[in-house]
Amino acid sequence: MSRLVVVSNRLADPRKPAAGGLAVALGETLKSTGGLWFGWSGAVVKDGTPGEGELRVHQAGPVTLAEIDLCQEDHDAYYRGYANGVLWPVFHYRLDLANLESGYLSGYRRVNHLFARKLMPLLKPDDLIWIHDYHLIPLAAELRAMGCDNRIGFFLHIPLPPQQILAAIPSHEWLMRALFAYDLVGFQSEADLLNFSHYVKAEATAETIGAGQFRAFNSTVQAGAFPIGIDVNEFQRLGRAHEAVDTYENTRTEYSRRRLLIGVDRLDYSKGLPQRIRAFNELLREYPENQHSATLLQVASPSREDVDAYADIQHELESLCGAINGNYGDFDWMPIRYIHRTVARKRLPGLYRACDVALVTPLRDGMNLVAKEFIAAQDEADPGVLVLSRFAGAAEQLTQALLVNPYDIPGTAQAIQRALQMPLAERQARHAALLENVRKYDVHWWCGQFLQTLAAVR
Ligand code: ADP
Ligand code: G6P
């Protein structure tokens, strides 16, 4: 059996909770496979040297964690600047928020080179290497240039936009060429895979030479859609533990006469939070029977606060929630409980279970694991309803959710009203179908499919 080497920018101790789909999914995966997890430690060294960083290796259960520090200049150019100021907005279809004139590309390349240099000595000849997400697109090319001949796979956790959007990045050709240094490239959805296929055919005159095999730039790459999932058994086990049960009971007691709606997100402009709050406002206006009855619990964990667009979204959200609570709230009822924090993972299943409706309404999302967690946490006899954006990768799989266009505020409000009024039999039927899907395509399926495909290429 080959050892699994996972590389990602964000690392998490798999024994501890994390917020963010990548860290949660990789933590679950590595807990069962064991292996090496290499990535940024999260520490920024104020006066360090660009392109350098201390590496620390330690054991966390079955996983060896290899963590590297970044100096301030590298962090600013690679993580804040290029990854989150250019790639994140463009890949989420937001050219308006992308800092395309910035000179951050050299920092992005420098840190990818640094990762390769520090990782090379840790590698064994038959390791399977699995690199994750937009921070590390050129990492395989760097490793190949240093003589690495291992099988290397790449998984993009975020969407891949259409060719016409991608091509707005000045270095788009270099970036996409870098994907051809991998043996296997995985996307979240068929839509992303189609965008990849269109791009390489249009911009690089790629030929398809077999199912999912593309030839361009003198290389061949296998590409496929591998929708990520959650660890359903683990999440349900968490749901039976006392922290989740207490959370469920306390929430139901606190809001005994209310219908509860829930949103759980990183505070990110891709999540469609202002649109969601406006749709909730529309619900209260259009369907006034929900006044003094429906309460939205919105939990948004702080994220990337040193990137301007994130500070802006925070202010917008606070003022929207304040206005609605001011307009509609009363001494005994507040329409929105907005919490700018990360909830302990142990409490999440109880919170989801206590709620009647989940609002998962991103403007664009690679997958969205909150949608799957909400389904896994429900009481099968009396389940809640999932309102899901058609622009989340999860919508390709979770077709029995109430699918909405999050830009359409009245349409979303109408779907929320339908969710609140849905008869028990329909809720049960939809939930059963959704749970079957979430269970079948869980995180172990995702990991198994990707690694089996990677092991079989060449
Ligand atoms: P993203 O990866 O863009 O953050 P996902 O929905 O795919 O979005 O994954 C988010 C993960 O982080 C989920 O496992 C979710 O439970 C967790 N999470 C997100 N926001 C919070 C929060 N405010 N408190 C606790 N956990 C959170
Ligand atoms: C998304 C990205 C991940 C990232 C996570 C949290 O899930 O796909 O790569 O780790 O958000 O963001 P952060 O910037 O805190 O790592």
Residue 132 CA, closest ligand 2 atom number: 9
Closest residue by Cα to atom 4, ligand 1, is: 20
The fold of the 4-229+443-456 domain, in CATH, is Rossmann fold (3.40.50)
- Helix 232-240 vs helix 242-254: crossing angle, to nearest 10: 70
Q: 137 — alpha (psi -120 to 50), left (phi > 0) or beta?
A: alpha
pLDDT score recorded for residue 26:
86
Mean of the pLDDT values across residues 375-381?
A: 98
Closest residue by Cα to atom 14, ligand 2, is: 304
C-alpha closest to that of 152 among 23, 7, 366, 1: 7
Mean of the pLDDT values across residues 50-66?
A: 94
**Domain limits of the chain?**
4-229+443-456, 232-439
Active site residue 365: yes
Q: Is the pLDDT of residue 22 over 90?
A: no
Active site residue 431: no
Q: What percent of the chain has pLDDT over 90?
A: 90
Residue 25 CA, closest ligand 1 atom number: 14
Cross-strand pairs, 225: 187
302: Cβ–Cβ under 8 A, 6 or more apart, which residues?
A: 267, 340, 341, 342
Q: Is the pLDDT of residue 363 over 70?
A: yes
pLDDT tens, position by position, 385-394: 999 999 999 9
Pocket of ligand 2 (CB under 6 A): 10, 20-23, 133, 157-158, 303-304
Closest residue by Cα to atom 2, ligand 2, is: 22
Categorize the per-residue pLDDT at 17 as very low, low, confident or very high, splitting at 50, 70 and 90. low
pLDDT score recorded for residue 195:
98
Q: Is the pLDDT of residue 16 over 80?
A: no
Q: Is 306 exposed, middle or buried (0-12, 13-18, 19+ CB in 10 A)?
A: exposed
pLDDT score recorded for residue 19:
59
Q: Rounded to the nearest whole angstrom, what is the distance from the C-alpha of residue 368 to the centroid of ligand 1?
A: 8
Q: Rounded to the nearest whole angstrom, what is the distance from the C-alpha of residue 176 to the centroid of ligand 1?
A: 28
The ipTM value here is: 0.99
Residue 19 CA, closest ligand 2 atom number: 6
In the numeric block, which tokens belong to residue 184? Answer: 């296997």
Q: Rounded to the nearest whole angstrom, what is the distance from the C-alpha of residue 369 to the centroid of ligand 1?
A: 7
Q: What percent of the chain has pLDDT over 70?
A: 99
**Best mutation site among 8, 10, 265, 389 for ligand 1, i.e. most ligand atoms within 8 A of its Cβ?**
265
Q: At 249, is the secondary structure helix, strand, or coil?
A: helix
Q: Is the pLDDT of residue 206 over 90?
A: no
Residue 158 CA, closest ligand 1 atom number: 3
CA distances from 296 to 69, 152, 373 (A): 39, 44, 18
Q: Is the pLDDT of residue 27 over 90?
A: no
Window from 30-39, 330-339, 419-428 with minimum mean pLDDT: 30-39
pLDDT score recorded for residue 458:
75
Q: Is the pLDDT of residue 238 over 90?
A: yes
Residue 176: alpha-carbon gap to chain centroid: 21
Q: Is the pLDDT of residue 18 over 80?
A: no
Q: Rounded to the nearest whole angstrom, what is the distance from the C-alpha of residue 456 to the centroid of ligand 2?
A: 29
Catalytic, out of 74, 76, 127, 365: 365
Pocket of ligand 1 (CB under 6 A): 19-21, 24, 264-266, 299-301, 342-343, 348, 367-370, 373
Q: Is the pLDDT of residue 210 over 90?
A: no
| Domain 4-229+443-456 matches domain 232-439 at the CATH topology level | yes
Q: Rounded to the nearest whole angstrom, what is the distance from the C-alpha of residue 294 to the centroid of ligand 1?
A: 23
* Sign of the dihedral defined by the CA atoms of residues 427, 430, 433, 435, in that order: negative
Which ligand is located closest to the Cα atom of residue 341? 1
Residue 271 CA, closest ligand 1 atom number: 3
**Best mutation site among 40, 44, 87, 133 for ligand 2, i.e. most ligand atoms within 8 A of its Cβ?**
133
Q: Is the pLDDT of residue 395 over 80?
A: yes
Distance CA 424, CA 87 (A): 43
Which ligand is located closest to the Cα atom of residue 394? 1
Q: Rounded to the nearest whole angstrom, what is the distance from the C-alpha of residue 301 to the centroid of ligand 1?
A: 8
pLDDT score recorded for residue 24:
78
Closest residue by Cα to atom 19, ligand 1, is: 265
Q: Is the pLDDT of residue 15 over 80?
A: no
What is the CATH number assigned to the segment(s) 232-439?
Answer: 3.40.50.2000
Residue 299 CA, closest ligand 1 atom number: 23
